[in-house]
Amino acid sequence: MSHFVEEAEQKEKSLKKKEEIISSSVPEIISSNKQLYSSFHNLMEEYIQKIASLSSESRRPVVEIGYTYLEGDFKYEYYASSYKTITKRVLLFIKKEKVYTVWRRCIVTITEKKGILKLTMYEKAVSEKNLSDVIKKKQRVYIKIDDLNREFALWLIDFLGYKYSQREIISHIPHKANIQELV
């Protein structure tokens, strides 16, 4: 059970954080986050161009890889596509293999919180024979801009290159930010 003094101090901290957010304007925070993120984006761009310049045989299973930037939304999108064979259980003991077209996307959104980015990882697989057979996965995590380095860029490239799953990549993020603490 917390005491009155501790509760009062917590209220004071939350009021100060709200005042700081109000006093510093949102466009300034977004532009500073964008500047801090630009070096990491350049690193990702360099790796994606290296992979895209390789022959299709050497970069398998990746068929296409690239990136886009959505100016109005302050979003950077990195994507890759592939053809994969996925084994699914039809009944308890019968397995069936199907070929799926798989897309992976990493969307990095510049947030209004100082030094924080939102990383959303998507994976969608559609059967080539039955278009209604769709597998979707989505995970979202908030990360600190300071934790973006060469190693993390390589982990994201490994995710786009179908080497690791979403869960494995998110477990390697050094310091995930708790967005409730920042509000």
Give how many domains the chain has, as a whole number. Answer: 1
Exposure class string for 132-157: b at 16+ Cβ within 10 A, else e: eeeeeeeeebbbbbebbeeebbebbb
Domain housing 11:
4-182
pLDDT tens, position by position, 136-152: 889 898 999 988 889 88
Q: What is the radius of gyration, based on Cα positions, of the chain?
A: 21
pLDDT tens-place string over residues 43-67: 999 999 998 898 888 888 888 889 9
pTM of the prediction?
0.72
pLDDT of residue 177: 60
- Model confidence pLDDT, tens digit, residues 96-107: 777 888 888 999
pLDDT at 183: 44
d(CA 53, CA 58): 10
Kindly compute the dihedral angle of the four CA atoms of residues 48, 45, 73, 180, in this order, to the nearest 10 degrees. Answer: 90
What's the distance, CA 62 to chain centroid? 18
- pLDDT reported for residue 41: 92
Distance CA 169, CA 152 (A): 9
